[in-house]
Amino acid sequence: MKTTRITGLLAAAAAAAVLAGCGTSTVASGAAATAPLPSAAGPAEVSASHHDADVAFVQGMIPHHAQAVQMSRLAADHASSPQVTELASTIEAAQDPEIAQMQGLLRAWGLPAAPTTVTGDPAGANHGGAGHGGMSGMMTEDQMRQLGQARGPGFDRMFLQMMIEHHDGAVEMATTQLANGQNAEARALAQKIIDAQRAEIAAMRDLLATT
C-alpha cells in the first residue's frame, strides 16, 4: 500500500539523519581550535575552521529551512490528508533543530545569526533558479500566500508540489557544500540533508500520485 511505502521512506529518512549525525567529525589534529555549541542533545564540539563556502551554505540554508518549517506548520490546520500532515510534522521536527545547529555554527565562527525570514519576492527562486541569495527552490511571497489560503485536497497537492521543489533546492545547495565546503560539521550536515530530503522527496512523489 502507498501508506506503507510512505511510512517506510520516512523511516529511512530518519535513519539516514541519525547515521549522518553519528558520522559528524571534527577537523583533524592541528586544525583550528574548537568552540562549544550548545544544543538540545547536549554540548558538542564545533570546528572553527571554515571558509566562505561554508558560511554561504549555512547563511543560505537557515532561511531556506525556516521557510520549509513555515510551510509545514500550515499543514496542521489546512491539510486533509493524514499522510501530508505526518510528513509535514516530520519535516518540521527535522529542520527546526538543524536551524539551531547552523546558528550555533555561525556563533562558533564569530558571525552574527542569520535571518530566519526572507523579505521581498525572490525572483527566479523557482523552477530550479538560484533565487534569493543563491537559495534554490525558495517559494515567492505570492506562492506562500496562495499556500496559506488553500485548504483540503487543494492544499495537499500545492504543499507537495512546492515542498518537492523546495527539497530539490536544498539538495542542490547541500551538494554544492559537499563539493566546495571545508568545515567538517557543515559538510556532515549537508550530507544529512541530502539523505533525508531525497527520501522525503520520494515519499512526497508517492503521495502526489494519489492526492
Taking a C-beta distance cutoff of 8 angstroms, is the pair 6, 203 a contact? yes
Domains delineated in the chain? 2-23+50-210 (1.20.1260.10)
Taking a C-beta distance cutoff of 8 angstroms, is the pair 21, 195 a contact? no
Question: pLDDT (tens digit, 9 = 90+) per residue, 59-91?
Answer: 999 999 999 999 999 999 999 999 999 999 999
Could you tell me the pTM of the whole model?
0.76
Q: How far apart are CA 147 and CA 48, in angstroms?
A: 39
Q: How far apart are CA 103 and CA 95, in angstroms?
A: 12
Question: pLDDT (tens digit, 9 = 90+) per residue, 136-172?
Answer: 999 999 999 999 999 999 999 999 999 999 999 999 9
pLDDT above 70: residue 21: no
